[in-house]
Amino acid sequence: MEFSAQAIAQFLGGTVEGNPDVKVKTVAKIEEGHPGALSFLANPKYANYIYSTLSSIVLVNNDFVAEQPISATLVRVSNAYEAFASLLQLYAQSKKQKTGIEPNSFIHSSAAIGDNLYLGAFAYISENVKIGKNVKIYPNAYIGDNVKIGDNCIIYPSVSIYEDCVIGNDCVIHAGAVVGADGFGFASGADTNYKKVPQIGNVILEDHVEIGANTTIDRATMGSTILRKGVKLDDHVHIAHNVEVGENTVMAAQSGVAGSTKIGKNCMFGGQVGISPHLKIADGVKAGAQAGIPSDIKKAGSVVLGSPASEISAQKRSMAVYKNLPEMRSRISDLEKIVEELKRKISE
């Protein structure tokens, strides 16, 4: 499919600067642009590429000011990154969609299936499952007893959704993810053996939740582990039992949240962030990569770094000291030698 700069601008509510009739049929990174490609510029670190890119059209923010001549046609929008994402969604929707129920898949006779289901080969739908309309379930997926899946969901290959879990509308669960496995609950006895605590709760994903590949979300011991509307989890994230993640919170890869912690809405966590159990994290908190959070964060909008995590201003002061530690150690060693020499002279 081809789109002109004018058509793209109309779709995005933007304005054209250059040739409105130039057309694109693919996308490319701005530093790897080529004729017929669409790129975008959102991060100032890449601004120098806009003067040399061979892409035919580049999306830019309205406040972008060119410092040199630009050969590409520009489409100015309020948010270039968001606009580019909208175009990619449009492109994805234009691709051929999977349909029908493939051979060797299984649907239990008690399951209720909505219209326009795609079910891949060797996918398994258990007893009393309820699935909405326009759902796609790819090969080798397992949907356990009593699971409820809303409309317009995509369940990619080898996803396992255990019994009694609830998936809202417009959710995406990527390959290999596990929703509803047992929480890590064991009681230590007098004989030092660990006795398993049955996990009888479930997992609830509200609408517009996206789960990355090989991510695991444990079922609650009692009640529910809950991911609120709009939560986005990257690959290899772990959410433990009875955790609640607030609306529109995002977590990058390899982050982990221990049991019964409550996370507010609109939070952002970098890669490998670790959060201790039974904590409360306020709305809008941001944690840098590899932050270790051992205690409650009560102030909304806090930005924390480090392990143990602290406010960014305090952590930056500490980091300024850390890098000077080798020099400080050497100076202290020299001072100790001087002190010892003075003590020796005084005693003589």
Catalytic residue numbers read 241
Q: What is the DSSP letter of 297?
A: B
- Placement of tokens 């899946």 in the chain: 149
User: How many Å apart are CA 167 and CA 115, to the nearest integer?
Assistant: 17
Q: Are 201 and 220 in contact (CB under 8 A)?
A: yes
User: How many Å apart are CA 142 and CA 144, to the nearest integer?
Assistant: 6
SS3 263: strand
User: How many Å apart are CA 164 and CA 170, to the nearest integer?
Assistant: 19
Task: Collect contacts of 173-178 with beta carbons under 8 A, ≥24 apart.
Answer: 173/210, 173/211, 174/210, 174/211, 174/212, 174/213, 174/215, 174/235, 175/138, 175/213, 175/214, 176/213, 176/214, 177/211, 177/212, 177/213, 177/214, 177/215, 177/216, 177/217, 178/215, 178/216, 178/217
Residue 114 structure tokens: 């909505």
- Strand pairing class (194-196; 186-188): antiparallel
- The distance between the two most distant Cα atoms of the chain, rounded to a whole number of Å, is 99
